[in-house]
Amino acid sequence: MTDKRNIRKQILLERDRLSKEQRILEEEYVTQKVLTHQWYLNATDFLVFKSYGSEISTKSMISKALRDGKRVYLPRVLADGEHMEFFRIESPSDVGNGYRGILEPKGKEMFQYEACKKEQVLMIMPGVAFDRDGNRIGYGKGFYDRYLSKKEGLRTIAVAFRCQIVEKIERDPHDIRPMQVLFR
């Protein structure tokens, strides 16, 4: 199965079928790996997605980052429907319905990337499937690829369930890999 659409469809089905127990076990493991990671500990700015559907939950990461005094930013799809930016939240409840019903930040403070401060920023990336080389299949709109194309060196970690790891993903020229993929 080498076609990205077929891989996406198959992995989403597998992810949806995870038992509650397996989901909790893997989410707790990945959350701990993120929250004890040196990049997280050194970060002042934490860019993280708000989990949706059967995605691995980021709720605990967001809450802990806020308690740790980090500036937490969530993605919002812009009016053009093609680009996203990250906006700060002060509380987990600073969200409202957004693109395709996904919760997005309501705030107005947009994250400003500065290359000289890239070691102080950590982004947690979603995705549908990953291979062990870090190649990624997202949801098909290219939001993260476009966003990261202008932020060279930004530290990125993708989080996933084990069922989302596949043998090989063909990489397109515009694809941007996360620096690390964490899974159980």
- Name which of 57, 95, 84 is nearest 146 in CA terms: 84
DSSP states of 102-113 = -EEE----B---
Structural domain boundaries in the chain: 4-182
- The DSSP code for 128 is S
Q: pLDDT truncated to tens, each residue of the chain (184 aa)?
A: 458 999 999 999 999 999 999 999 999 999 999 999 999 999 999 999 999 999 999 999 999 999 999 999 999 999 999 999 999 999 999 999 999 999 999 999 999 999 999 999 999 999 999 999 999 999 999 999 999 999 999 999 999 999 999 999 999 999 999 999 999 9
Q: What is the pTM of this model?
A: 0.95
| Bridge partner residues of 155 (DSSP) | 122
Strands 136-137 and 129-130 turn out to be antiparallel
4-182, which class in CATH? alpha beta
